Amino acid sequence: MASAAASQPVVFGCPLTGQVEPVSHCPDPTFAREILGPGVCIQPEDCVLYAPADAQVEFLLSTKHALGLSTPQRIKFLIHLGLDTNRLEGEGLEAFVQTGDFVRRGDKLLAYNPAVMEKAHCSMNTPFVFCNTQEGWRVELLRTGLVSAGEDLVQLVPQEPSSP
């Protein structure tokens, strides 16, 4: 279990420039219902995805459309580049990292070719969700609307465990 109570708030930057809204507005019900965790959905205005925090890449799917990372505070998060992009099997996607890499906030993670996405009729709505917040973290959305890559976007605040 994460030691959230002894930690300071952790701030995450926006992973790509775009229109940000709560993940509950995501067109994919798995994300909208927060089944994978709370977070945001970004409609990108840029083609490059950056690390929102210092973290280790826990996985990068072979199709390059999604990756999971974990911070030194053991906060796990997922960034899913677009919806239905898995069916492209990596076409039009470029990875700059691999599983096991440690990245710093602002490092390039992935890039995509918008022409390939458009031709395949893929939605570029990009969910960015926190997968283990039940372990003592509260998610606070710092801004919505147009947000530039790297701007502070989400803050996770440690919570005291509930008493039984």
Give a yes or no: residue 82 inside a domain. Answer: yes
Q: Give catalytic residue positions.
A: 80
User: CA angle, 87 as apex, 32 and 124 as ends, to 5°?
Assistant: 45
Give a yes or no: residue 134 inside a domain. Answer: yes
CA distances, 36 to each of 29, 77, 117 (Å): 11, 9, 24
As for how many domains the chain has, the answer is 1
Q: Print the domain residue range for 135.
A: 4-158
Q: Residue 102 is part of a domain; what is its CATH number?
A: 2.70.70.10
Over the chain, what is the mean pLDDT?
Answer: 90
pLDDT at 1: 42
Give a yes or no: residue 21 inside a domain. Answer: yes
Mean of pLDDT values over 100-121: 93
Q: What is the pTM of this model?
A: 0.90
